[in-house]
Amino acid sequence: MLSLRKHWFSLVRLCDVLHVAGRRSRSSGVNVKYDYDLIVIGGGSGGLACSKEASQLGKKVAVLDFVSSSPKGNAWGLGGTCVNVGCIPKKLMHQASLLGQSVKDASHYGWNVQGDTIDHSWESLVMSIQNHIKSLNFGHRVQLKEKNVEYYNAKGSFVDSHTVLARHENGDEVSLSAEHIVIAVGGRPHYPTNVQGSHEHGITSDDLFFYSKPPGKTLVIGGSYVALECAGILAGLGCPAHLMIRSHPLKAFDRDMVNLVMSSLRGHGVQILSHCEPQSIERGSNGRLDVVWRDEASQTCRDQFDTVLFATGRQASTWALELPRVGVAMDTPTGKVLVDERDTTSVDNIHAIGDAAYGRWELTPVAVKAGKLLARRLFEGSNVLMNYETVPTTVFTPLEFASVGLSEEEAVSRYGNERVEVYHAFYRPLEYYLPHRDSSQCYIKMVCEAVDTERVLGLHLLGPNAGEVLQGFSTAINAGLTRDQLHGTIGIHPTCAEEVVRLHITKSSGADPTLTAC
């Protein structure tokens, strides 16, 4: 299948080359002089990284970025999903929810916390987050100017394979040409079409971080990491949160870890509605939302909520680019652009990175790295490709879940059960002891190739600050870390990260993996 796709790519590219060559030969007989060496359509993390890297290599670069409002009327500035409605506001809200738990723990550490009631101001939190985001928007514009990247606050669409039409909000249009064009438009959440009233009454993560008042009792629909994170954050901030999942949550992740993540969410107060499908949403006479759904027994259920948040997937923001006009191949259901291992589309001088590219991780650091490497390949002669195989990531649920490499299921599928060994442990963070917090979901799993020195194929961690812990280990795994090397490493005591280097109990042994304190 991959071979056929490569041959198809080659055929389409040959046609494009012949088209461009014909167009040039019909001109004055000289090579076309382009306005820019590179045009990047999309001002998110990947597009900005690619444009700035190309500019640093001495190329003339332009960036086009325009954010269409969400159905609820929310729009934002330069920086893409991560800065405005993704990683940054999410992590800040995650931190806010963790602080609520810390305040509850404080009395066990000798702090005199008056009373049992902890008040939280949603309005103050949102204002602080939005002020920070605006400073980041401004900072991105300053950086582009400092690096001599021309910025157009305009929508872009293809005229031909080397020409983009930039449309400003006031209706002004300008035609721009470039030797290379990068599609980095990212994606936006989508509403399910089979749920009556979803557009009229539902919101998405594009809206949550702009909410001017507490969302109250909230139904989060979806099983993605965005859904789980939003549900956990809302519960931590005192909003009754319900999470409705049609099939399985976090499908791409290790099943043991996911089951523990869900158990942890329940422990933090999130009500889980498993194997349920929403049917309709209506505004009741009392102003609240009447939601009807079917449960796993096909029974009709209903309840009232103040807010319904859809986190049921995203689609690439490619609809306005006119890609069929220039022959760029796409995956129709998702709107994503098909690319090869060099992030090049079916048209040789058009490339795609980030969330708009098919088969790529929808993660900011992935887009940033891919953008920089692409610029170096185009303008510096580099042949270094992006490694999409061993990518670390963290799900910022109340108890964080970090992962890098293969899940146990993926490893067994790839190598066979007899060539996979799993080391695992349940552990108790020291900071949980005094407040007697539940640590039954704090778990580590290391997946190894069961030959010779046992190369580490995957590492998965559920616990406090899991993302911070796993970052360093991901570097080692990319460098070929073995179980022997890990076991020979001295741990930093007393930390959660120390428990990783202490792993010694195999899953196949059937021994109790619960670790005891020193």
Q: Which residues are catalytic?
A: 493
Q: Using an 8 Å Cβ cutoff, are 278 and 253 in contact?
A: no
Which element (helix H / strand E) includes 466? helix 466-478
Assign 85 to helix, strand or coil: helix
| Residues whose CB falls within 8 Å of the CB of residue 158, separated by 6 or more in sequence, listed in order | 164, 165, 181, 321, 322, 323, 325, 326, 328
What residues have CB less than 8 Å from 66, skipping those under 6 apart?
153, 154, 155, 169
Q: Are 185 and 158 in contact (CB under 8 A)?
A: no
List C-alpha distances in Å: 477 to 255, 390, 404, 470: 21, 8, 8, 10
Q: Where are the beta strands (DSSP E) in 382-480?
A: 393-395, 401-405, 420-426, 443-449, 456-462
Whether 248 and 349 have beta carbons less than 8 Å apart is answered as: no
A 10 A CB-CB count for 138 gives 13
**Which amino acid is residue 421, in one-letter code?**
E
DSSP line for 200-247: HH-B-HHHHTT-SS---SEEEE--SHHHHHHHHHHHHTT--EEEEESS
